[in-house]
């Protein structure tokens, strides 16, 4: 625009917009921009026109109305009388939950498989190749359905655990594996229970502080402090002592087979849809991450490994201290996009009835209110915000570990 109205030379002629290479690209970009804006304006006005023609309007008022439906998996308080907005938030939290679990699991799986694929052991490296090729070349939806079907078909029904004389006893008296999900005991905090949790958190921080101190000491003075047993001691001892000193304030709420004739009651239920989605996303994306890790490791020059070995480092130390830190710089950028893939693929939850945001806002709410455009726009906005947030955090981390050129 400025170039058109405010040319650098006084002798500007209109024909130069096409003939002069300095301006030609601006001219075409300007035309393209106008056409683009016109196209979007047309789409928008067409939408508004057709909505008006059908007697409809764009309104987000429905978000405040009672949703009227129940959700089986929820992290916050929700009843059928809660609003559509609450249902949306339940969905967002469920999306974040499964995305977080799957990202962590996929990373662990991916790093292990990626490192092992480079193993000198023929069997191990071939097994890992099979894992990578089998899992990343089958659509993730298929994996979700396969795992879900296996859970439903193989595990016993909930009723097998019920009654005075059940067909199946609780594993260790506290775990139940049914085709509706896994039941685990839930910790119940009594008075003073919070103190134990705080002490445990403090010990975790203390452990990391000790490890970084030991590392610093090693780098500065060459003195090697013992690592393993002090870490474990710092982590566990204070919390265990506090637990007993305060009179065992934390108890376990184990699943109760007698409370209800249909289902186990009590404890934490991890529903079959969540498990299926979580594992399917983890093993599927884990296969991609394994390839990223392998590529990252192979990108580190062989000379580094040889130099480290000639200094007398053992193979696992070569990997941990020399190769992986350098490989991380190559691994992290593609890892970000894998995390984004997990988050977006979690919308396949709908296949197994997991109540993620696509199922609540983009599914039931959309259907019951008929507000398709509003719901889908809001849905897009949520995914955009979640993805951009993940991307930002990971980019900050990438900047922290990337090669600092001075």
Partner 1 sequence: MAMHTDHKRSDELPDVRVDNQEEVKMKKTVFLGALTIAGLAAGAAAAGTLDDVKARGTLNCGVTTGLVGFAAPDSNGEWNGFDVSVCRAVAAAALGDPTAVEFVPTTGKTRFTALASGEIDMLARNTTWTFSRDVDLKFEFVGINYYDGQGFMVPRDLGVSSAKELDGATVCIQTGTTTELNLADFFRANNISYEPVPIETNAEAQQQYLAGACDVYTTDASGLAATRATFENPGDHVLLPEIISKEPLGPLVRHGDNEWADIVRWTLNALITAEELGVTSTNIAELAAGTNNPEINRLLGTEGTLGEMLGLDAEWSKRAIMSGGNYGEIFAKHIGESTPIGLARGLNAQWTDGGLLYSPPFR
CB under 8 A: which stretch of 39-47, 208-216, 227-235, 380-388 binds partner 1? 39-47
CA distances from 303 to 116, 322, 403 (A): 20, 11, 18
List the one residue from 29, 171, 212, 367 that touches partner 1 (CB under 8 A).
367
Least CB distance from residue 169 to partner 1, whole Å? 19
Q: Which residues 6+ apart lie within 8 Å of 93 measured at CB?
A: 74, 75, 76
Whose Cβ is closer to partner 1: residue 286's or residue 362's? Answer: 362
Question: b or e along 202-239 (b: 16 or more beta carbons within 10 Å of the residue's beta carbon)?
Answer: ebeeebeebeeebeeeeeeeeeeeeeeeebeebbeebb
List the one residue from 6, 10, 21, 53 that touches partner 1 (CB under 8 A).
53
The yes or no reply on residue 364 touching partner 1 (CB under 8 A) is: yes
- Quick note: the x/- pattern for partner 1 over 117-156, rule CB under 8 A, is -----------------------------------xx---
Identify whether the C-beta of residue 176 lies closer than 8 Å to the C-beta of residue 161.
Answer: yes
Residue 32 has phi, psi (to 5 degrees) of: -60, -40
- Quick note: the x/- pattern for partner 1 over 254-283, rule CB under 8 A, is -----xxxxx-x------x-----------
Outline where 139-271 has alpha helix (H): 140-154, 193-221, 228-245
Whose Cβ is closer to partner 1: residue 152's or residue 398's? Answer: 152
Whose Cβ is closer to partner 1: residue 219's or residue 262's? Answer: 262
End-to-end CA distance of the chain: 39
Q: How many CB atoms lie within 10 A of CB 153?
A: 8
Instruction: Locate 23 and state its tokens.
Output: 């301006």
Whose Cβ is closer to partner 1: residue 72's or residue 389's? Answer: 72
Question: b or e along 165-189 (b: 16 or more beta carbons within 10 Å of the residue's beta carbon)?
Answer: eeebebeeeeebbbbbbbbbbeeee
Least CB distance from residue 111 to partner 1, whole Å? 34
Count of residues that bind partner 1 according to CB under 8 A: 58
Q: What is the 3-state secondary structure (H, E, C) of 148-169?
A: HHHHHHHCCCHHHHCCCCCCCC
Report how far residue 355's alpha carbon sits from residue 88's, in angstroms, rounded to the nearest whole number.
Answer: 10
List the one residue from 32, 34, 138, 205 that touches partner 1 (CB under 8 A).
34
Identify whether the C-beta of residue 87 lies closer than 8 Å to the C-beta of residue 66.
Answer: no
Question: Which 304-363 residues touch partner 1, going by CB under 8 A?
Answer: 350, 353, 355, 359, 363
CB under 8 A: which stretch of 14-22, 101-109, 214-222, 286-294 binds partner 1? 14-22
Residues near partner 1 (CB under 8 A): 4, 14-15, 17-18, 27, 31, 34-35, 37-39, 41-43, 46-47, 49-51, 53-56, 68-72, 79-81, 152-153, 157-159, 179-180, 259-263, 265, 272, 350, 353, 355, 359, 363-364, 367-368, 370, 372-373, 376
């Amino acid at each position: 625009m400025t170039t058109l109205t405010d040319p650098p030379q006084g002798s500007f002629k209109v024909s130069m917009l096409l003939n002069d290479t300095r301006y030609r690209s601006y001219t075409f970009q300007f035309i393209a921009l106008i056409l683009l804006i016109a196209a979007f304006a047309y789409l928008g006005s067409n939408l508004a026109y057709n909505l008006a023609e059908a007697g409809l309007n764009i309104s987000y008022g429905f978000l405040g109305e009672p949703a009227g439906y129940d959700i089986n998996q929820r992290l916050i308080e929700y009843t059928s009388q809660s609003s559509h907005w609450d249902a949306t938030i339940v969905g967002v939290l469920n999306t974040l939950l499964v995305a977080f679990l799957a990202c962590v699991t996929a990373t662990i799986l991916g790093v292990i498989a990626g490192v092992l694929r480079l193993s000198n052991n023929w069997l191990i490296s071939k097994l890992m190749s099979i894992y990578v090729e089998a899992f990343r070349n089958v659509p993730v939806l298929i994996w979700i359905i396969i795992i879900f079907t296996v859970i439903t078909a193989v595990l016993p029904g909930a009723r097998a655990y019920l009654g005075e004389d059940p067909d199946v006893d609780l594993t260790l008296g506290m775990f139940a594996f049914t085709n509706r999900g896994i039941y685990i005991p839930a910790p119940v905090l009594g008075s003073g229970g919070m103190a134990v949790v705080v002490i445990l958190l403090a010990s975790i921080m203390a452990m990391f502080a000790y490890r970084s101190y030991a590392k610093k000491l090693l780098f500065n003075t060459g003195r090697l402090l013992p690592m393993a047993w002090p870490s474990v001691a710092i982590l566990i001892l204070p919390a265990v002592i506090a637990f007993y000193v305060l009179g065992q304030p934390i108890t376990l709420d184990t699943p109760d087979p007698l409370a209800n004739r249909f289902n186990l009651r009590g404890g934490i239920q991890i529903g079959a849809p969540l498990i299926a989605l979580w594992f399917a996303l983890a093993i599927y994306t884990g296969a991609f991450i394994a390839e990223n890790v392998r590529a990252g490791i192979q990108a580190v020059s062989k000379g580094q490994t040889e130099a480290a070995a000639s200094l007398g480092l053992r193979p696992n130390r070569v990997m941990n201290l020399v190769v992986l830190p350098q490989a991380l710089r190559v691994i992290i950028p593609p890892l970000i996009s894998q995390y984004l893939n997990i988050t977006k693929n979690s919308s396949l939850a709908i296949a197994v009835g997991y109540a993620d945001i696509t199922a609540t806002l983009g599914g039931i709410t959309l259907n019951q209110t008929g507000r398709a455009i509003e719901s889908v726009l809001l849905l897009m906005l949520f995914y955009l915000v979640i993805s951009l947030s993940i991307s930002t955090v990971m980019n900050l981390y990438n900047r922290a570990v990337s090669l600092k050129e001075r």
